[in-house]
Amino acid sequence: MENLIHITYDKAGAENLKQSFALDDIISGEIVTFDDDLASGTLKDSATEETLSRQGWWNKIKAPEEYASIHRDHELLTDLCQRMREDENSEIWIWAAQNARDVCGYYALLHPLSSFLGRVHLIYLNNLPFMNDKGGIFYPSQLSEILPKEFLKARKLAREITAAEVEIDGEEWNRLKEENASIRILEGAKKISSKPDDYFDKELINRCRLDYMKAWRLVNQIIQKSKDHINEDFLYWRLQELINNGTFNAKEAFKNLRDSEVKTAGTEVSEGTETNTTSDGKEQ
């Protein structure tokens, strides 16, 4: 389709979408991926207090040069709006899977793209069944989980975003910005709830073992088992905070926390004692 711009929030999902164009070019077009994970981090910006800004929040999680997504996404959006003004034949399709990152990304675009209603469409994959590579039915929570051939079916879900949606969903986004929490999770449909910094700490504590385990293994277990979207960098930051407050012990100090080994503080496993674990890392 000429002058069609696809918006995604998932690089791997964008690649699968691109591969689907080779199967049927009816929806082939440019793919624009927004990288800033709006399900994590404060949302308000302040021109005078860097610590209150979204970039300031991310600066305590990662080095500023390692999280350039906020500035990059702003430039992408500015360019996108300019192109929509210059070419009245251009259309936008926003692809959102059932997770907080994609839904928050959709919310954030409503006001900037509201001038182009009639040319902006949403494809929200909410509780929709797809086929996996073994022929089984599943309900994807990430765009990257969908096979290229299945995008051909999903395209039929594209519908225009209405003025009523801009108003109602826009109010939801305003609420989330006012709450300005560190974490946002998807409750269902497009309902997002704000959560505090320590929301995932309980999972880290429950899954950490009495003997040392790789930090990356602990983090991966939680991400894979959780029904919520979890930003990996945020989870490593929370792990570091639990080490700092004495909840966990770290075996060695590594420049990269993922390479370290951690265990529950105040516990010792006697030499020669074997700790049996289940496949998800929990003790037996």
Determine the Cα–Cα distance for residues 191 and 49; give it in Å rounded to an integer: 30
- Separation CA 44–CA 166 (nearest Å): 20
CB neighbours of 239 closer than 8 A, spacing ≥ 6?
Answer: 204, 215, 218, 219, 248, 257, 262
pLDDT on residue 47: 47
Indicate whether 69 belongs to any domain: yes
Q: Are 237 and 60 in contact (CB under 8 A)?
A: yes
pTM, 2 dp:
0.88
Residue numbers of the chain with a pLDDT score lower than 70 = 1, 45-52, 253-255, 267-284
Q: Are residues 154 and 211 located together in one domain of the fold?
A: no
How confident is the model at residue 279, as a pLDDT?
Answer: 39
Strand residues in 89-195 grouped as ranges (E) = 91-97, 120-125, 130-131, 137-138, 159-160, 183-188, 191-195
**pLDDT score for 255:** 64
Per the DSSP assignment, residues forming a β-bridge with 160 are: 121
Are residues 85 and 38 both part of a single domain?
yes
141 and 243 assigned to the same domain: no
DSSP code, position 99:
S
Q: Is residue 282 a part of any domain in this protein?
A: no
Q: What is the predicted pLDDT for the residue at 267?
A: 63
Strand partners, 4: 91
Please tell me the predicted confidence (pLDDT) of residue 179: 95
Residue 52 is predicted with a pLDDT of: 55
Q: What is the CATH number of the domain that holds 214?
A: 1.10.10
Residue 183 lies in a domain: no
Q: How far apart are CA 146 and CA 149, in angstroms?
A: 8
Query: CB of 38 within 8 A of CB of 192?
Result: no
Same domain, 218 and 171: no
Q: 27: domain range?
A: 4-176
CB 198 within 8 A of CB 213: no
DSSP 3-state of 266: coil
